[in-house]
Structure 1
Amino acid sequence: MRTYSTTMTRFKTAQVSVQPNPVSGANGKDVTVKSSVTLPGNANPVAVDYVLNKGDKGWKIYNVSVEGASLVTVYRNSFNEEIRKNGVDGLIKLLQDKNAAPAPAAASAAKGKG
């Protein structure tokens, strides 16, 4: 979650355009909401699609694709590579270490206070 939130803070001043009429999935419970994100100083918008699933408690985003690259697929491939190299225990340790590390913004703020 921290990785997503850290990435999203870079887009505070971006212009987001959400297209109407989400595309329904074959199972009737999924929809894809298409959008484009334009960053200041960059004329070319970036395609960002959100895949949502309707569950008992409402809609939840479960995948985000940027320019066609699925974050779920990217993370799955990364996790599989770590498992191949260091096993499941290695993946768990890697994730624990990443979660224990200070967030980049917190680390920068801490450096300025020293």
Structure 2
Amino acid sequence: MRMRTLLPVATLALLALAACPGAKTIQSLLDDPGQYDGKTVRIAGEVTQSIGALGLGGYQVNDGTGTLLVVTKSLGSTPRVGARVGVEGTFQSAYTFGSHSGAVLIEAKRKTQ
């Protein structure tokens, strides 16, 4: 049963990575956050959650290797759950967004498929 769930997510992640050249896996960012802290990186995957709070918007992206919160200042334009996205932005290893604290990507550019 778990394999049935992982296969579609992995397939979508591979398609999204192909559409976002130079994308890093989320797992690689989380495994060594200090290497990427403050640097511009690209990720791609499926939106699993979309939220807004305190004048900011945020959404979680799952690329099949992990999940990362993406913070955007475009509150009204967070992508819908299930959308495939490629995102470029600044990786921050320590950030607080509402009740979430941890690594995030501050969105600069987004491509939705």
TM-score of the superposed pair, with normalisation by structure 2 = 0.30
More helix by share: 1
More strand by share: 2
Tell me which of the two structures has the higher relative contact order, counting C-alpha pairs closer than 8 angstroms and 6 or more residues apart.
2
